[in-house]
């Protein structure tokens, strides 16, 4: 917190100089903070105005006769510098913090889970990393029984969401072979800016040279389905003015006040989804964070749940959708007995190693905290010409190494053999439904295959040139859960990451620490006089490194997924390939919770693609065409009559 306080103090000197590229839009034009001006009923209600919720609402309201209400817990950001300037910290009021139960794999320490509490969700507060996973990540989704959800099926929607701007010639010359201007894998007409910081610390050359020195390939194009090796990543930023691109300024602000059929109410918590006798979702209950006033809004078509992997299962469980035993124990009437709601929870445990540099004489990222006058000078440079260190994401960057298992250890076959021998029944609660075990077995088999692949990473190592180096285990075997233990909708759910419950995850973490040490021992990194300060070079044995990991790791890389998984119901799935909730009609989930397996990387670009894909499914357009032809977009047809709600998502 000291670092944050220092940089905020030193960088607010020029705070009044910045104007957002979207400041000409009226950010509150269609926002309501109370229910007075809302309709009694909407065609579609979207629960959650984060990344996926805004995409879906935007695409739905392309049809001017379709009405949509988005209900969001947070508020529209005030376009503060921290939500626009990459190098500034995001205001803490836009973060929501939940704390897990004690994790036995972390020596009974708890772990935080940070999510966005703002219109635009995590894309407003994240580290702006905007690279896709590997082909194998998404093909595994398809192999779990989801036709069309593999790499080839999702690629058009990755492209649809983005406008890619190639790197500058100066940047390409600075990092030859590490960065590509190839347009083929990218979109050039989407709402989200995808580009590169136009400045980088020269020391990053040592990062790439060090990995190359120890045999890790340099990958100039990680977005073509092979996100492995050391590479310079795209970030979610508008190239023209080097400002953050997030879901709010990509999918909401450009249409705010323009589409009168798009309503957004902020500062409200959804407490329950209500169903008719035939299990159709018909209305939503929600409560004001400011006044505690409760309200109910009806829908005549569908409810779309997009509250995120941490909150969507809570809302479903409160509404009677989830494990029957859990619901009955809390006196909640079961609408659909779905044991998978809240199970299969995945995030990526992360270790933060620390280093110092004896020969590091030019400016470093740590100067942002230790040299207030220099930091203020860099902010002024940013305001004047949109260049310099402030174009690099705060406490982040673009230089990463995504390492397959065989790049981490030569003994990778035995690691996979050991993983295959683990008794799955020992890794999940004994009370878990048989379908949960079936789904985990299916995922474990796919994970073993991916662990053997040279094209699928298991560890991410990131370095922006400073003292801290995160090591994230991005393809974990461990599975956690998110459950309610009260009917009070304002109480947080019980979060259990179950970190390192699968011994393979700890084995990968240990091997990854050793790989980092190999990298810092390379000639290019030795030239910087690199010294390990935490855990320290004196921690050498496997037992000592494991103790360090359990004492220091955190459970989350802030990429929670898979709590409402898109899988077959007999595998513990919650939604089908159209993202419809099993056992109900008129209800979908559209957020990272539907990922059946975590993407080995950062999740925002995948969330955009999932939301764009479900918004563009051919049967949605078919139903819309049918409605236009036969009913004049009038109305009350429902999912089941055409297999989907009429007038559904536009292409």
Alpha-carbon distance 187 to 69, whole Å?
A: 29
* Per-residue pLDDT, 221: 95
If pLDDT is split at 50, 70 and 90, which confidence band does 649 have? very low
Q: 600 near 447, Cβ under 8 Å?
A: no
More confident residue, 612 or 647: 612
CA 258 from centroid of its chain's CA atoms: 29
Residue 6 has pLDDT above 50, yes or no: no
Radius of gyration of the chain (CA): 24
* Per-residue pLDDT, 360: 86
Q: Structure pTM? A: 0.92
If pLDDT is split at 50, 70 and 90, which confidence band does 364 have? confident
Residue 635 has pLDDT above 60, yes or no: no
* Per-residue pLDDT, 644: 33
Average pLDDT over residues 304-333: 98
If pLDDT is split at 50, 70 and 90, which confidence band does 30 have? low
The answer to whether the annotation marks 512 as part of a ligand binding site is no
Tokens of 228: 């492995």
Q: 375 near 11, Cβ under 8 Å?
A: yes
Nearest partner of 183 among 154, 159, 219, 155, judged by Cα: 159
Judge residue 87's burial from the number of C-beta atoms within 10 Å of its C-beta, 0-12 exposed, 13-18 middle, 19 or more buried: buried
* Per-residue pLDDT, 611: 98
* Per-residue pLDDT, 582: 98
- What tens digit of pLDDT does each residue of 221-265 get? 999 999 999 999 999 999 999 999 999 999 999 999 899 999 999
Nearest partner of 265 among 464, 426, 39, judged by Cα: 39
- What tens digit of pLDDT does each residue of 538-569 get? 999 999 999 999 999 999 999 999 999 999 99
Average pLDDT over residues 560-579: 98
* Per-residue pLDDT, 13: 31
How many residues does this entry show for the chain?
Answer: 651
Element (H, E) at 124: helix 122-125
Helix (H/G/I), strand (E/B), else coil: 357: strand
The answer to whether the annotation marks 51 as part of a ligand binding site is yes
- What tens digit of pLDDT does each residue of 60-99 get? 999 999 999 999 999 999 999 999 999 999 999 999 999 9
Residue 196 has pLDDT above 90, yes or no: yes
- What tens digit of pLDDT does each residue of 440-481 get? 999 999 999 999 999 999 999 999 999 999 999 999 999 999
Q: 590 near 582, Cβ under 8 Å?
A: no
Average pLDDT over residues 501-523: 98
Alpha-carbon distance 232 to 130, whole Å?
A: 11
Alpha-carbon distance 580 to 639, whole Å?
A: 10
Query: Residue for token digits 């050359």?
Result: 205
Helix (H/G/I), strand (E/B), else coil: 472: strand
Work out the mean pLDDT of the chain and round it to a whole number. Answer: 90
Percent of the chain with pLDDT over 90: 83
Q: Which CATH superfamily is domain 2-615 in?
A: FAD/NAD(P)-binding domain (3.50.50.60)
Is the Cα torsion angle 180, 185, 189, 191 positive or negative in sign? negative
* Per-residue pLDDT, 613: 97
Alpha-carbon distance 48 to 273, whole Å?
A: 13
Q: What is the DSSP string of 42-55?
A: EEEEEE--SHHHHH
CA atoms within 13 A on the CB side of 255: 22
Element (H, E) at 455: none
The answer to whether the annotation marks 165 as part of a ligand binding site is no
Domain assignments of the chain as residue spans, ordered by start? 2-615
CA 112 from centroid of its chain's CA atoms: 15
* Per-residue pLDDT, 617: 74
Average pLDDT over residues 416-442: 94
Instruction: Provide the annotated active-site residues.
Output: 559, 602
The answer to whether the annotation marks 70 as part of a ligand binding site is no
Alpha-carbon distance 321 to 273, whole Å?
A: 10
* Per-residue pLDDT, 431: 87
Residue 182 has pLDDT above 70, yes or no: yes
Residue 344 has pLDDT above 60, yes or no: yes
Alpha-carbon distance 485 to 184, whole Å?
A: 49
Residue 384 has pLDDT above 80, yes or no: yes
């Amino acid at each position: 917190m000291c670092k944050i306080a220092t940089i905020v103090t030193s960088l607010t000197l020029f705070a009044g100089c910045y104007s957002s590229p979207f400041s000409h839009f009226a950010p509150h034009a269609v926002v309501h903070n109370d229910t007075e001006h809302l309709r009694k009923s909407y065609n579609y209600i979207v629960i959650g105005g984060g990344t996926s919720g805004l995409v879906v609402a935007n695409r739905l309201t392309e049809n001017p006769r379709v009405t949509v209400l988005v209900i969001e817990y947070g508020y529209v950001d005030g376009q503060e510098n921290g939500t626009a300037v990459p190098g500034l910290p995001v205001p803490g009021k836009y973060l929501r913090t939940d704390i897990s139960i004690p994790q036995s794999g972390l020596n009974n320490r708890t772990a935080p889970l940070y999510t966005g509490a703002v219109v635009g969700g995590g894309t407003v507060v994240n580290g702006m990393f905007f690279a896709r996973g590997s082909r194998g990540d998404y093909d595994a989704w398809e192999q779990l029984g989801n036709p069309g959800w593999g790499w080839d099926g999702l690629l058009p929607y990755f492209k649809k969401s983005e406008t890619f701007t190639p790197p500058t010639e100066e940047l390409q010359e600075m990092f030859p072979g590490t960065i590509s201007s190839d347009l083929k894998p990218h979109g050039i007409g989407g709402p989200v800016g995808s580009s590169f910081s136009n400045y980088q610390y020269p020391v990053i050359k040592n990062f790439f040279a060090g990995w190359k020195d120890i045999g890790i390939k340099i990958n100039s194009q990680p977005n073509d389905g092979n996100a492995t090796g050391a590479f310079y990543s795209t970030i979610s930023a508008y190239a023209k003015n080097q400002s953050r691109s997030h879901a709010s300024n990509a999918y909401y602000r450009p249409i705010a006040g323009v589409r009168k059929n798009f309503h957004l109410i902020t500062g409200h918590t959804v407490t329950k989804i209500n169903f008719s006798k035939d299990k159709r979702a018909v209305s939503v209950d929600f409560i004001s964070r400011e006044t505690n006033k409760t309200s109910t809004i009806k829908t005549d078509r569908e409810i779309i749940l997009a509250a995120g992997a941490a909150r969507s299962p809570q809302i479903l469980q409160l509404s009677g959708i989830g494990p029957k035993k859990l619901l009955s124990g809390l006196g909640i009437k079961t609408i659909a007995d779905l044991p998978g709601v809240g199970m299969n929870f995945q995030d990526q445990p992360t270790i933060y190693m620390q280093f110092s540099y004896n020969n590091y004489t030019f400016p470093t990222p740590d100067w942002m905290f230790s040299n207030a006058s220099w930091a203020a000078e860099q902010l002024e440079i940013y305001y004047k010409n949109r260049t310099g260190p402030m174009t690099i994401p705060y406490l982040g960057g673009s230089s990463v190494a995504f390492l397959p298992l065989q790049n981490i250890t030569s003994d990778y076959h035995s690691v996979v053999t050991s993983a295959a021998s683990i008794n799955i029944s020992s890794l999940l609660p004994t009370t878990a439904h048989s379908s949960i075990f079936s789904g985990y077995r299916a995922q474990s088999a796919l994970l073993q295959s991916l662990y053997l692949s040279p094209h699928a990473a298991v560890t991410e190592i990131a370095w922006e040139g400073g003292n801290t180096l995160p090591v994230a285990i991005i393809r974990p075997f461990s599975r956690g859960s998110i459950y309610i233990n009260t009917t009070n909708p304002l109480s947080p759910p019980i979060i259990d990451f179950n970190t390192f419950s699968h011994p393979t995850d700890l084995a990968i973490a240990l091997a990854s620490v050793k790989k980092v040490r190999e990298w810092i021992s390379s000639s290019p990194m030795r030239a910087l006089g690199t010294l390990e300060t935490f855990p320290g070079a004196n921690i050498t044995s496997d037992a000592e490194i494991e103790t360090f990991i359990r004492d220091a790791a955190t459970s989350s890389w802030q990429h929670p997924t898979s709590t409402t998984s898109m899988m077959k119901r007999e595998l513990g799935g919650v939604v089908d390939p159209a993202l419809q909730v099993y056992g109900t009609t008129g209800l979908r989930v559209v957020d990272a919770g539907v990922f059946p397996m975590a993407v080995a990387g950062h999740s925002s670009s995948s969330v955009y693609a999932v939301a764009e894909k479900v918004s563009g499914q051919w049967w949605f357009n078919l139903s819309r065409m049918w409605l236009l032809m036969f009913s004049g977009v009038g109305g009350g047809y429902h999912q089941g009559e055409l297999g989907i709600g009429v007038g559904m998502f536009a292409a």
